[in-house]
A and B are shown apart, each in its own frame.
Chain A
């Protein structure tokens, strides 16, 4: 296993900074109605980002689509991210399945990085298995996952809720974040670590960030203007 350390303390995200970046993130989410909220644990005041959304999955693949397109993603998922309410969801046709995804972003003091926890279940409450989760990973990440599934997504206990969640392993986060951050700082751009990190790891598990997050800068934060 290789987990090369940057060596510089700069690239480690301090908990205080984590909270600041999350605050900025939530503000923008609220402006564009992206559905993220900040939750705190009752006793010690630890907090985390949380978002729930629904995805529709096609169970039957139309034959012409199979021929035209060997894109695995279309065979597995039609990503329809909407805030469906319960009545709309029930009206979805029988060959489609609705899956409820819940994403949490927590802070790991051991690795000093954010960690993405998520869980998914069908509307009847049946949770997706690890296998189903692996199969639903975006096509371009599948190869990496197949190399070492145990290194990437596994089921773990949520450290604040005590319930089973799936987790994207944090020990490699510093590797890819270091190179991106160096570039960004050289250009003197305000960088929100959380937005940068989530835009990289989120898509692996079906979580996409609208592009407007990328436009966040310090001046927008203080003026509170809508983007």
Chain B
């Protein structure tokens, strides 16, 4: 039987084999070979693709290179979403490796946030953590921490240091002994088919009678179309970190063990493959 702590490690060390190809219209001095990389599910594209950038810049002229951006089958990939979320949402039922196209021109201003430095990623990451703690603890835990603790969360993510990260993050996963869980669960539900990028609402992990709310309870409350069976058959999959957790799973447990490093549960609702 898997220990709960093993789940934390499995989530942290999840990887997606990816093939990066330069967009055909980019101007190169010689042919650009594709670049293969194992991407960490819990990180962000612009944080882990320095080698990809260097590889393609070697065959391009300086003046042809401006801000890098990534695209999958015509869809610009939002670097500020965790990699695992992007994959689950757009490509989870397709063959590996994940094929991503690399661009250096025509940055899609209407679709993507700019990412001119690592500072931007850090600011975004920390803003998510703060928002998650506002929901879980009215910001009390994050505000009690020192700046160096905040820095340790970021450095742990940036350098792929599980122990360093969790030394601080475990405090964000605690709750007062008199409570049975967090105040509200930090979560976002994504569906590629909607204009709205995600659904986020206030949701308590414990019912008024003291019972633990489940993943199914959350979906019923916030996104009922995701689980209402049509013709008795489930047309969609509810995916977190590449797996479909049982709908009976307590949401408090999911929040503690399957959140991303930003402390949010990022849940994808995708079409179920027909075969």
Contacts and interface: CB of A to CB of B under 8 A. Distances in A.
Interface string B173-206: 0000000000000100000001111111110000
Interface stretch (B10-18, B35-43, B128-136): B128-136
A157 to B, nearest CB: 6
A110 B134 contact: yes
Pick the most buried of B80, B109, B119, B138: most chain A CB atoms within 10 A of its CB: B109
B113 A164 contact: yes
Contact of B201 (A1, A42, A109, A127): A109
A152 B195 CA distance: 27
Contacts of A87: none
Interface in A99-142: 109-111, 127, 129-130
Contacts of B110: 163-164
Nearest to A43: B196
Contact of B139 (A5, A109, A150, A155): A5
Contacts of B119: 150
A206 B186 CA distance: 33
A164 B130 contact: no
Interface string A1-12: 111010000000
B199 A157 contact: no
Given A1-B142, A44-B199, 4 more contacts: A43-B196, A155-B113, A156-B113, A163-B111
Contacts of A155: 113-114
Contact of A171 (B135, B139, B195): B139
A156 B109 CA distance: 12
Interface residue SS majority, chain B: loop
Contacts of B186: 110
A41 B196 contact: yes
Interface string B60-81: 0000000000000000001010
Nearest to B201: A109
Interface in A141-189: 150, 154-164, 169, 171
Interface residues of A, number: 28
| Size bracket, chain B contacts | 20 to 34
B131 A111 contact: yes
A127 B110 CA distance: 9
A159 B143 contact: no
A42 B195 contact: yes
B139 A159 contact: no
A42 B194 CA distance: 10
Nearest to B123: A150
Nearest to B142: A1
Given A5-B140, A157-B113, A43 B194 contact: yes
A1 B150 contact: yes
The 8 closest A-B pairs by CB, nearest first: A162-B197, A150-B123, A110-B131, A155-B113, A110-B134, A164-B113, A109-B202, A127-B109
A99 to B, nearest CB: 15
B112 A159 contact: no
B258 to A, nearest CB: 20
B5 interface: no
B71 to A, nearest CB: 16
A166 to B, nearest CB: 10
Contacts of B194: 43
